[in-house]
Amino acid sequence: MTALVTVLWKDLLIEWRARSRAFSLATFALTVLLLFSFAVGPDTATMRAHAGAYLWLSLLLSSTLLLAQSFHVEVESNAIETVMLAPTAPAAVFYGKALANTAQLVALGLVALPATVALYDASFREGVGLMLPVLALGAAGLAAPGTLYAALTGRMGARQLLLPLLLFPLVVPCLLASVKATTLVMLGDPMTQLPSWLRLLASFDLLYWAVCGVLFGRVIEQ
């Protein structure tokens, strides 16, 4: 647990010190939202109906840039071998980094939410407070496999291309559940479907986090 907290704190501290990178990432996410609004055109009803999908597509595209940086410091300084030689379980390194990535994705989602409301005339009929668990579960579903694949591609020259190619097919179920849950929060949930979608999303998260935590040791040794 101490190693996990240390890795988590280290990654968050690195991102805090490189705040310009976080600003660039937020700008990219907002730009993607803006481009989607231009693509749809002035059809307010269509924009409002699909606002949840545009939000998560923006986060998905932005996540590849964020996740690619997960092992950037370790790769640049050849510190991965040192980390693995330390008396630390590989799972602790994985969960520390995955939690840091989850926290950053949630923060990015909170930045993108006001822009989604402004650009797509979205509202939160079920209450804006329900967006926090949806964002947290959706971000966790992206962060776990994203962290694993970031470790796998971190030492490859084409990691910026390989990461999304590997990640996108795997997170489709999580992405669909996140979009559906977000849409229900925004447009209303007369059939009380939201709890079922949240449970499904949590199930995907448990599967991703368990399997990726087990596989991380083998991946990082390659």
Average pLDDT across the chain, whole number = 86
Domain boundaries, the chain: 2-220
Give the CA-trace dihedral at 91, 97, 101, 102, to 10 degrees: 40
Q: What values do phi and psi take at 61, rounded to 5?
A: -65, -40
**Does the model's pTM come out above 0.75?**
yes
| 125, 186 contact by CB (below 8 A) | yes
Give the CA-trace dihedral at 167, 173, 179, 185, to 10 degrees: -130
Tokens representing 111?
């930045």
The 10s digit of each residue's pLDDT in 81-93 is 666 666 677 788 8
The 10s digit of each residue's pLDDT in 32-70 is 999 988 888 777 888 888 999 999 999 999 998 888 877
The 10s digit of each residue's pLDDT in 63-121 is 988 888 777 766 666 666 666 666 677 788 889 889 999 999 999 999 999 999 999 98
Tokens representing 60?
């998905």
The 10s digit of each residue's pLDDT in 156-180 is 766 677 888 889 999 999 999 999 9
